[in-house]
Amino acid sequence: MTFKRTFHAVETHSGEPMRVITGGVPHIPGNTVYEQMKWLEENDDQIRMLMLREPRGYPPLCCNLVVPAKHPDAAAGYIIMEQVEYPVMSGGNTISVATVLLETGMIPMQEPVTEFQLEAPAGLIGIRAECSNGKVTSVTFRNVPAFAAHIEKVIEVPHLGKVTVDVGWGGMFYVIADVRQFKGLELKAEHGREITRVSALILKAAQQQLPVEHPHYPGYGITVAQLSGPTENPNADWRNAVTVASGAIDFDNPATWTGAIDRCPCGTGTSAKMATLHAKGQLDLNQPFRHEGVLGTVFTGNLIEQTRIGDINAVVPTISGRSWIYGYNTYVLDPDDPFVNGFTMGDIWA
């Protein structure tokens, strides 16, 4: 049988499921991975929809396309795809892509440490992978500069009231709220439905009330919400639940007050959190920051230097974490399949 499309993928997770497509993607025009990402978004968004929607995907899933690097110093490039957007950077996905490239032999592994650079849409990302017995046991990446866009702003959130939030860039714009503002809500898996409800309402309100702008990425706004709070884990400093949107949010339609909780501690979310803590004088340079996700796994961040993005004061984060391969798949689109872009349904999708 001749299929319309065929993709070869490695399935990974760091709690969060992160698919890495290693074969089947056609040539994508562009002089940089960022230009390739924009071309894909405008001309072949079918790949994202097929891989992330049902029957091949579900709301928490992320996906990455491994592409040849355009920058001469990069070993490979990758394009990140999520349910409602193409982020220029993602921490958990970066860790997963690096793990796949090394454990499948696409990039030669050197033990005990392999160092190389990847080209994300955001630019060059330095990778330091600790390796043992053919396995990647930890990945540390040097992220793009992070910064605080808003600190301790009070916004009016329909159905919730006044909420104090920070907004930070860590490769995506995050609105961050301390969970202790919401009586009875805890950052644990069994509170997932209420976490996503509260987060969706905060995200929509922040998008309307807190303008943001990145000098390099015009048009990118706040797209992710993070609830944050203390942890009882002696091996962590802070706990978070990041909710990724799975559709448009409408204050008048409670069915849309939802999303998908990031099952890992979230690398760009950790970077954004560290940037806001640093701006408030609560986190120093070279002070390890252990960030725990809702499953109890931990990413460790570090702000290694100060810098500027245009006129904005920024900091450079590193993030360390781990991802695991759990499967290898070939996905196809049958010529008779009526759902050429996949599908969603309101029982689990916004």
- What is residue 292's predicted lDDT score, i.e. its pLDDT? 98
Q: Return the C-alpha torsion angle 118, 175, 59, 56, nearest 10.
A: -20
DSSP 142-159: EPPPBEEEEEEEEEEETT
On average, the pLDDT of the chain sits at 97
Q: Is the pTM of this model over 0.75?
A: yes
Pair 328, 296 in one domain: no
R_g of the chain, CA atoms, integer Å: 19
Element (H, E) at 292: strand 289-292
User: In this structure, are 151 and 15 located in the same domain?
Assistant: no
Is 130 found in the same domain as 175? no
**Is 62 marked active-site?**
no
pLDDT at 350 over 90: no
When pLDDT is averaged across residues 37-60 and rounded to a whole number, the result is 97
Neighbours of 149 (CB within 10 A): 23
Say if residue 93 is in the same domain as residue 152: no
Distance of CA 157 to the CA centre of its chain: 24
Return the bridge partners of 280, or none. none
Q: Do 159 and 306 share a domain, yes or no?
A: yes
Q: Are residues 264 and 157 in the same domain?
A: yes
In a domain? residue 30? yes
- Asked whether residue 70 falls in the same domain as residue 180, the answer is no
Is 350 among the domain residues? no
Amino acid sitting at position 201: L
Note the pLDDT of residue 180: 98
Q: Write down the catalytic residue from 90, 96, 271, 323.
A: 90
Q: Give the 3-state secondary structure of residue 290.
A: strand
Quick one: 209 and 245 in the same domain?
A: yes
pLDDT at 253: 96
Say if residue 134 is in the same domain as residue 240: no
266 catalytic residue (yes or no): yes
Same domain, 126 and 169: no
* Residue 35 forms part of a structural domain: yes
Cβ burial of 115 (10 Å; 0-12, 13-18, 19+) is: exposed
What per-residue confidence (pLDDT) applies to 20? 98
Mean pLDDT computed over 93-111: 98
d(CA 219, CA 241): 25
Domain count, the chain: 2
Q: What is the percent of the chain where pLDDT is above 70? A: 100
Structure tokens at 182: 């919401």
The C-alpha angle 17, 54, 190, rounded to 5 degrees, equals 50
- Look at residue 340 and tell me if it is in a domain: no
- The encoded tokens of residue 129 equal 């992978």
Residues 140, 215, single domain; the answer is no
Same domain, 26 and 130: yes
pLDDT exceeds cutoff 90 at 37: yes
pLDDT of the residue at 284: 98
**Domain hosting residue 169, numbered range:** 147-318
Q: Are 119 and 125 in contact (CB under 8 A)?
A: yes
Give the list of residues 6+ apart from residue 336 with CB closer than 8 angstroms, or none. Answer: none
Look at residue 347 and tell me if it is in a domain.
Answer: no
| Any domain includes 339 | no
Q: What CATH number should be reported for the domain holding residue 20?
A: 3.10.310.10
Considering 14, 266, 271, 320, which one is annotated as catalytic? 266
Whether a cis peptide bond, with omega within 30° of 0, leads into 55 is yes
Element spanning 315, H or E: strand 312-321
Q: How large a percentage of the chain has pLDDT more than 90?
A: 96
Q: For residues 311 and 324, is the Cβ–Cβ distance under 8 A? A: no
Q: Is the pLDDT of residue 280 over 80?
A: yes
In a domain, 248, yes or no: yes
Residue 77's pLDDT band (boundaries 50, 70, 90)? Answer: very high
CA dist., res. 201 & res. 188, Å (int): 19
Evaluate whether residue 269 is within a structural domain.
yes
- Residue-level pLDDT at 1: 73
